[in-house]
Amino acid sequence: MAVSEPLSVPATSARSDDRRALAAALVTVTLWASAFVGIRAAGEDLSAGPLTLLRLAIGSVALGVLALALARPDPSPTRRDIPGLLVFGLLWFGAYNVMLNEAEQRVDAGTAAMLVNIGPVLIALLAGFLLREGFPRMLLAGCAVAFAGAIVIGLATSEVSVTAGWGAVLCLAAAVAYAGGVVAQKPLLARASGLKLTWVACTIGALACLPFAPALAREVERADGASIAWVVYLGVFPTALGFTTWAYALARTSAGRMGSTTYLVPPLAVALGWAFLGETPPALAFLGGALCLTGVYLTQRSGWPRFFRRDPK
């Protein structure tokens, strides 16, 4: 009896999947760039902890509605996934958001975006060690170039020194939490639906922030409608939608390479800050943006379809 040849994925189907993954990544970085602006705006009336709790609560509800509306028979997290989910939820949704929100009370959106974007460097290093993704030369070279661009943007748009201050320390700590959350999330995507994982992790983060509930009740009473609207936006779009599209794309590439796409966030944050907050970026910021784009290109020099190829299981 002849052994049948393994079925291969049609080229047209693979290209279509590549395009969807690329679109998902671009949606993610755009929404996350807008989050830096939204945090600055909402932070005028809400402090870091209450803002995090309200944002994650809204995000959890939105993710739950989306999961129920889709009603797909996707695999759900199991008991073996609990440790990873706790790390994912507590680090990225909980600790990261509280520290970033507190940092943006002290530094501007451009500075915060620059400092947080050491995260992809940490992701590449952690993924290389813990997930055994290795250290491709172009990945490291692209990270170095893009990180240099992020530094240029931060120096060009910073309202305070990026080398000192509690806000800068909090941004760096947030970057560490973000990197740890990505590395914890990546293995989970091989076993469970990205949407369900994101929903559970967001809920874990919201529950961890419940001690901020009394302060939230007090601050919401004094907050104006614009601040509340920004928090709703943060919960529905950068949180619910942004993390869902991130999980979709991350399931189709390595953690290190996916992390490198977030170097697009600083130039986008500068542009959105100019549009919504009236911040006019200096010419030097555009040089930094060009470096960021160059760095992302270097990490993906072999092309987007290769970048988004699904990891072998």
Q: Number of folded domains in the chain?
A: 1
- Report if residue 312 sits inside a domain: no
Q: Look at residue 21 in the predicted model and tell me its pLDDT.
A: 77
- Report if residue 313 sits inside a domain: no
This prediction's pTM: 0.81
- Report if residue 45 sits inside a domain: yes
Q: Look at residue 190 in the predicted model and tell me its pLDDT.
A: 85
Q: Look at residue 74 in the predicted model and tell me its pLDDT.
A: 75
Q: What is the Cα–Cα distance from 128 to 247, expressed in whole angstroms?
A: 19
Q: Look at residue 9 in the predicted model and tell me its pLDDT.
A: 47
- Report if residue 262 sits inside a domain: yes
- Report if residue 4 sits inside a domain: no
Q: Residue 80, exposed/middle/buried by CB under 10 A (0-12, 13-18, 19+)?
A: exposed
- Report if residue 6 sits inside a domain: no
- Report if residue 285 sits inside a domain: yes
Provide the domain limits for residue 43: 18-307
Alpha helices in the chain (DSSP H): 11-42, 48-70, 82-88, 97-103, 109-116, 119-130, 137-157, 166-188, 194-208, 213-222, 225-234, 242-250, 255-260, 265-277, 283-299, 304-307
Residue stretches of the chain with pLDDT short of 50: 1-9, 163-164, 302-313
Q: How many CA atoms lie within 13 A of 144 on its CB side?
A: 7
Q: Look at residue 301 in the predicted model and tell me its pLDDT.
A: 58
Per-residue pLDDT tens digits for 11-49: 555 566 667 777 888 899 999 999 999 999 999 999 999
- Report if residue 7 sits inside a domain: no
